[in-house]
Amino acid sequence: MSEQDFEWDETKNKENQRKHGVTFYEAQHAFLDANRVIAEDIEHSQTEKRYHCFGLNEQGSGILTVRFTHRYGCIRIIGAGYWRKGKKIYEQNNSI
């Protein structure tokens, strides 16, 4: 993974880690999952298109949900965590 491919607000990263136990650095691994699922985040897409990435964490032991947008040629991570709804979507799309 190239650091140029991803970006985030460091304050938001620390807040996310405190609230959800996941750093945005860790969240990048969901994008490396060959079976990842990308879906538009219609609920939060008001001024710019936002998306969800559902994919395995680095250890392959959990399914991360990562909220992101595309900005200036980078993937800008907005939030990440282990959420039941994301796990369910991932499993349905991968027939697990």
Is pLDDT at 82 greater than 90 in this prediction?
Answer: yes
pTM attached to this predicted model: 0.89
Top-ranked range on mean pLDDT: pick from 3-7, 39-43, 45-49, 60-64: 60-64
- Tell me the per-residue pLDDT of 13-58, one tens digit each, with 9 for 90 and over: 999 999 999 999 999 999 999 999 999 987 766 778 999 999 999 9
Instruction: Name the residue with tokens 């990562």.
Output: 66
Identify the CA nearest to 7 among candidates 63, 78, 65. Answer: 78
Q: How confident is the model at residue 95 (pLDDT cuts 50, 70, 90)?
A: confident
- Tell me the per-residue pLDDT of 83-94, one tens digit each, with 9 for 90 and over: 999 999 999 999
